Amino acid sequence: MVTTMKEINQFFERRQVQLGMNFGLSRMETLLTELGDPHKELKYIHIAGSNGKGSTLQYIKEILLAQGIRVASFTSPYLIRMNEQLKVNEDEISDQEFIDVFRKLWPIIHEMDSKGNGPTQFEILTAMAFSYFSKKEVDLVLMETGLGGRLDTTNVIQPFLSIITSISLEHTNILGNTLGEIAFEKAGIIKSGAPVISGVTAGEPAKVIEEKASAIGVPYYQLGKEFRVSNMKRSERGQSFSFSLADRSIENVEMQMLGRHQMENAALAIAAVTVGMENIDEKSILEGIGAAKWDGRFEKISDEPLVIIDGAHNPAGIDVLKETLKVHYPGYKYRFVFSSFKDKNYSEMLHGLETGAMEIIITEFDHERAADAKTLYEKCSHPNKSINKDWQAAITEGRRKTGDKEILVITGSLHFLSLVREFLIREDA
């Protein structure tokens, strides 16, 4: 029996190596049945999408907190430690609570293992979230999918609202090789009685989602149609926009998170609370959007030299990163430090970086899924590329080289950024 967070972390790491990602809902349903179905006691907003899930969730959370609503959230992956994934309001689950909830699941895990249908690491964590939240007397839960939607571990819930933030080519070996196939998987979270808020605007995937909503008979609200973003204004330190949906119009919504995609994510959040909840006032919306921040998403770590970290972990994320740099830092040159998981489309990610980089420094980090630096280096065709297997040394080198009107941008993997962020903050302390 485990008794410390270190032992739980080690257990989860072994579990990830042994079982990996094994999709389907049967194990999750067995696990929850043995726990007494704690997930059935809660109200949910369910959020899926290729990019933008975490930011959209954070905007909604801040709006609800400003309104005085007690809200739980389940997100993935974590940036620094597992506790981040289970929060009530902005308070992470404590180490002792985490251990207590895990110990409650331990005999069920052991029994399922003995029958050859042991739950995966993410299934265990999701079940822990349900068990923990059910005891915390929250008004609602913001639930982010892990991967996909239809067969994702979280898809055992009955939400009162579903959100699909974006669709891009990702995990094609699991979700499908086309945007339409991936949209089908994401649309699997759409349930009877739960309106759908969608940030997907491209023809094929948008059609798939709309058709699923229509087939089930739930209201469907699409960005650019039923609700809109306009009057976008940007500066180096912030941005603002106007929002409209039916008879709700809000002018000059100010925010600190940067990028057009963040304005669209914020609009999804406003649409969600407008459609799905009563009596959310404009003051709470403005206060919530303005307060929201999400570590590791176009986050400025230092000014001299200027260092930004961004959790772009697929080609679409890289494109958004480049656009945000150009809009908010025109006239600057960009030096990238890049590392990635080997199961990501790192070739396309590197190709995207090559078109806007003055230099690309390739590195690697310690993780069973991490791509080795040599492989990444060989896939990179930028004329000014270098390799340093020691990621800390690579970052130190990049900072030393970065001068005026230049930015060091570190990207490629959220797990990589979790290590980087801690290192940089410690170095600058």
pLDDT tens track for 165-184: 999 876 655 676 789 999 99
In sequence order, the 6+-apart residues with CB closer than 8 A to the CB of 8 are 2, 82, 98, 99, 102
Degrees (nearest 5) of the Cα angle 230, 261, 184? 110
Q: Output the pLDDT for position 174.
A: 62
- If one counts every other C-beta atom within 10 angstroms of the C-beta of residue 327, the result is 16
Mean pLDDT across the stretch 287-302?
Answer: 92
**Residue 380: its H or E element:** none
From 16-20, 44-48, 210-214, 375-379, the region with the lowest mean pLDDT: 16-20
Q: What is the largest CA-CA distance in the chain?
A: 62
Residue 356 has pLDDT above 90, yes or no: no
pLDDT tens track for 49-88: 988 999 999 999 999 999 999 999 999 888 888 999 999 9
The two structure tokens encoding residue 127: 């079940």
From 11-25, 211-225, 248-262, 391-405, the region with the lowest mean pLDDT: 11-25
**Residue corresponding to tokens 């990830």:** 16
299-428 CATH fold: Protein-Tyrosine Phosphatase; Chain A (3.90.190)
Residue 133 has pLDDT above 60, yes or no: yes
pTM for this model (two decimals): 0.90
b/e burial code for range 363-400 (CB count within 10 A of at least 16 → b): bbbebeebbebeebbebbebeebbbbeebeebbebbbe
Domain ranges of the chain: 5-291, 299-428
Alpha helices in 217-357 (DSSP H): 260-276, 282-291, 315-328, 346-354
Reading phi first (left if > 0) and then psi (alpha if -120 to 50, else beta), residue 251 is in beta
5-291 CATH fold: UDP-N-acetylmuramoyl-L-alanine:D-glutamate ligase (3.40.1190)
R_g (Cα) of the chain, nearest Å:
21
Residue 385 has pLDDT above 90, yes or no: yes
The two structure tokens encoding residue 253: 């919504």
Angle at which helix 26-35 crosses helix 95-114, to 10 degrees, equals 120
Mean pLDDT across the stretch 344-355?
Answer: 92
User: How far is the C-alpha of 316 from the C-alpha of 49, rounded, in Å?
Assistant: 12
User: How far is the C-alpha of 348 from the C-alpha of 187, rounded, in Å?
Assistant: 25
